[in-house]
Amino acid sequence: MTIQVGDKLPEAKFRVMTSEGPQVKTTDDIFKGKTVALFAVPGAYTGTCHKMHMPSIFLNAYAIKNKGVDTIAVVSVNDAFVMSAWKRDTDQRDEAIFLADGNADFAKAIGMELDASGNGLGIRSKRYSMLVKDGVVTKLNLEANPGKVEVSGGDTLLGQL
């Protein structure tokens, strides 16, 4: 079942790169007691994700945070090493946490997995953005086409705050 506005995020674990190497962060670590703008992409460094989705997030990051968002998070079905390199290459002002959902466990738990096997990418995440307050989804913007950023970008979420 796909997560909906009003639903609480399920328990899940992500990997986040730290100076000591990959560390586990739970949904509680990321979302409990916070307002989080979560952006999900099918794959780090892929064309639409890298050239369209990420710029829409970081061009709006200050404004998003000024509207009461505590954390901007980016999640993808990639490993923590790839997500760390992607953060280095896209998040010049260190405005977001990059969450590795390497086995798509989170994507599957919220019904947002995407079978991209036809393109050689395996199971990935659908493209979406959501606003999460204390673990509860308050806004959800799911792209109909994973190759486009029409409703899941930073500008859309900013307009909803």
pLDDT tens readout for residues 126-150: 999 999 999 999 999 999 988 888 9
* Cβ-based neighbours of 141, under 8 Å, separated by 6 or more: 128, 129, 130, 151, 152, 156, 157, 160
Q: Which of 17, 40, 49, 77 is catalytic?
A: 49
Whole-structure pTM value:
0.94
Query: Which of 13, 34, 14 has the alpha carbon at shortest distance from 80?
Result: 14
Across 46-67, average pLDDT:
87
Angle CA(79)–CA(17)–CA(111) in degrees, nearest 5? 45
The burial of 159, by beta-carbon neighbours within 10 Å (0-12 exposed, 13-18 middle, 19 or more buried), is given as: exposed
What is the structure's pLDDT at 116? 85
* Average pLDDT of the residues of the chain: 93
* Cβ-based neighbours of 110, under 8 Å, separated by 6 or more: 2, 3, 9, 10
What is the structure's pLDDT at 70? 98
- Residue 11: how many CB atoms within 10 A of its CB? 11
Report d(CA 145, CA 38) in Å as an integer.
Answer: 18
What is the structure's pLDDT at 158? 95
Q: Please answer whether residues 6 and 107 qualify as being in contact, where contact means their C-beta atoms are separated by less than 8 angstroms.
A: no
In the predicted structure, residue 50 carries a pLDDT above the cut 80: no
Q: How far apart are the first and last CA of the chain?
A: 26
Give pLDDT tens digits for 119-128.
877 788 999 9
What is the structure's pLDDT at 5? 98
Report d(CA 124, CA 146) in Å as an integer.
Answer: 10
Domains defined along the chain, listed by start? 13-160 (3.40.30.10)
Give pLDDT tens digits for 10-25.
999 999 999 999 999 9
Q: Does the annotation mark 49 as catalytic?
A: yes
Across 78-101, average pLDDT:
95
What is the structure's pLDDT at 104? 96
